[in-house]
Amino acid sequence: MDMDSIIEALGGAAQVQTLLGVGPSAVSNYRARGQFPEYARIRIWQALKARGITVDPETLSVEPSGQPKPIASNHGNVSPVVNPAVTAIPEPPRILLIISGGIAAYKSLELIRRIKDKGWHIRCLMTASAEQFITPLSVSALSGETTYTELFSLTDEAEMGHIRLAREADAIVIAPATANIMAKMAYGFADDLASTVLLATDAPILIAPAMNPFMWAHPATQANQRQLKIRGISFVGPDSGDMACGEDGAGRLAETPQIINAISHILPGSGRLNGKTALVTSGPTHEPIDRVRYIANRSSGKQGHAIAAALARQGAKVTLISGPVNMPPPPGVHVVAVETAQDMLTASLAAMPADIAVCAAAVGDFAIANSGANSGANNGANSGSGAGKIKKSDTGDAPQLILQQNPDILATIADHKMRPKLVIGFAAETDDVVNYAIAKRLRKKADWILANDVGQDDQPVFGSDFNMVHLVTENGVEPWPEMSKHDLADQLVSRIVKEISA
Ligand code: C5P
């Protein structure tokens, strides 16, 4: 079958994205290459099979008859395929549970039982230190599957190569997760089976940490957690309370029902914003003065990127329009890289219609009208950013830059005939933050404004991993406590879910 027929048979590109847990750009790349990546073929084969279409799992070509094969009915007779939607049998999600070493490892046995109660398929993998607490035998007895433990085990590799183990999972759960496995993930180590699988997977990952409160609170563990969240990895817990080590504080493994609930939220297709589209602007803009210089705002893109990632985790189809940043593209998000405010506006309008718009970019208010002006050798006013570097003059006269106002992207989107249902902006102010934000919400016709104070020397926002905002809506002003930009993104997206589904 050719690519287009496969995508059509599976219900369209959006369904294929959900099935493979990838973003729209990945599917476009597969189309351009004319083939799916190797790991995806097994999922596509299974999904087609569930729709009564039998193809060769290696090549995805239709089996010899050239026709989709009919499905055997319960009575062993053969019934023709009439409506693929009716015949489709959903496969249970496949969970790979990684158990790392820690006294809480025994709680993973209960988790396995509850995962099975949900009707999900489970396979387990244990680290060497987890084997000090519970045995692979008890894990296998409960999961009903082989438990994998070693990277260089001939038996394990022959039965299930580590790459297949990584790829044949719809979600990977690490419970309990030690400080060690989090550190290995943050730095990309691959020195045992668990860390290798975690590096080789593209499935969503949920981490349920459990460790001594001091280990959890240590700046190294906290930095690793933030790093992992940047990559779109979800966390559940840890809870606070009495610890097995006799200390008290945050570090207890989350309760089993909490973990089950968190797993159900990371499974592909489970998001509460499924079928919704979002556009997010992030980062600064660069307004060229000449070919080498520009005016920019202080913005790392951390907050906007975290919001895009959080929307995508909830199943929204996200276009992230980003100015120049040093941030990895969030998983499952279509990124459009731009430089100037004008480009950002053009890309934002191209991403409409959308259900949700979040304008988190620090857009330059002014562009240089005469970029390249007075540029010495090529002294040409209005010669554009294509003009060479402006030269210093021997007389000491500085060139005159003429500023022109940039379009306001947030206000344009909010006043557009295709206005998204929910339009959200930010207001970074140095004084009278809330009052300016209230006025800005009305002036720009935004639904919500997140106001943050960027004027505090002791609590910088730009480039920091933390943020503290007031949410300004038509109903009033809500102060939110200081939290990481990722937690803020999750909290904002929970509010968006409520608003959009109201
Ligand atoms: O007017 P001010 O820059 O303070 O407004 C901040 C909000 O407006 C942010 O949400 C920002 O992304 C958005 N904005 C915009 N286009 C501009 C200026 C700001 O979208 N040209």
Testing ligand 1's pocket by substitution, the residue of 409, 430, 442 carrying the most ligand atoms inside 8 A of its CB is: 409
**Using CA atoms, how far apart are residues 100 and 150, in angstroms rounded to an integer?**
13
Q: What is the DSSP string of 447-502?
A: SEEEEEE---TTS--TT-SEE-EEEEETTEEEE---EEHHHHHHHHHHHHHHHHH-
Tell me the pLDDT of the chain (502 aa) as tens digits: 788 888 888 888 888 877 776 777 788 888 888 888 766 776 787 778 777 787 877 778 765 444 433 333 333 333 333 344 433 445 789 999 999 998 999 999 999 999 999 889 999 999 999 999 999 999 999 999 989 998 777 566 666 677 888 888 999 999 999 999 999 999 999 999 999 999 999 888 999 999 999 999 999 999 999 889 888 899 999 998 877 767 778 899 999 999 999 998 888 777 889 889 999 999 999 999 988 899 998 889 999 999 999 998 888 999 999 999 998 888 789 999 999 999 999 999 999 999 999 999 999 999 999 876 555 444 444 444 456 788 888 888 888 899 999 999 999 999 999 999 999 999 988 888 899 999 999 999 999 999 987 766 666 666 678 888 999 999 999 999 998 898 899 999 999 999 998 7
CA 48 remoteness from chain centre: 27
| 267 C-alpha to ligand 1 centroid (Å) | 35
User: Following CA atoms 302, 306, 309, 310 in sequence, which dihedral angle do they give, to the nearest 10 degrees?
Assistant: 180
Q: Are strands 469-473 and 448-453 parallel, antiparallel or unpaired?
A: antiparallel
Backbone angles phi, psi at 286, to 5 degrees: -110, 120
| 408 C-alpha to ligand 1 centroid (Å) | 6
Pocket of ligand 1 (CB under 6 A): 281, 341, 359-361, 363, 365, 406, 408-410, 425-427, 440
Looking at residue 172, its pLDDT comes to 97
Looking at residue 102, its pLDDT comes to 87
Looking at residue 463, its pLDDT comes to 65
If you take atom 5 of ligand 1, which residue's CA is the nearest one? 427
Structure tokens, 383: 């010669």
If you take atom 21 of ligand 1, which residue's CA is the nearest one? 408
If you take atom 17 of ligand 1, which residue's CA is the nearest one? 408
Q: Which of 220, 245, 350, 377 is catalytic?
A: 245
Testing ligand 1's pocket by substitution, the residue of 320, 348, 363 carrying the most ligand atoms inside 8 A of its CB is: 363
The reported pTM is 0.67
For the CA of 406, the nearest atom of ligand 1: 21
| 411 C-alpha to ligand 1 centroid (Å) | 8
**Contact (Cβ atoms closer than 8 angstroms) between residue 251 and residue 216:** yes
If you take atom 19 of ligand 1, which residue's CA is the nearest one? 363
Structure tokens, 223: 């930095």
Looking at residue 495, its pLDDT comes to 96
User: Could you check whether the bond before residue 176 is cis, i.e. omega within 30 degrees of 0?
Assistant: yes
Backbone angles phi, psi at 433, to 5 degrees: -55, -50
| 422 C-alpha to ligand 1 centroid (Å) | 16
For the CA of 436, the nearest atom of ligand 1: 4
Testing ligand 1's pocket by substitution, the residue of 426, 432, 443, 447 carrying the most ligand atoms inside 8 A of its CB is: 426
User: Could you check whether the bond before residue 479 is cis, i.e. omega within 30 degrees of 0?
Assistant: no
Backbone angles phi, psi at 320, to 5 degrees: -105, 115
Q: Is position 359 annotated as part of the catalytic site?
A: no
| 400 C-alpha to ligand 1 centroid (Å) | 26
Looking at residue 32, its pLDDT comes to 82
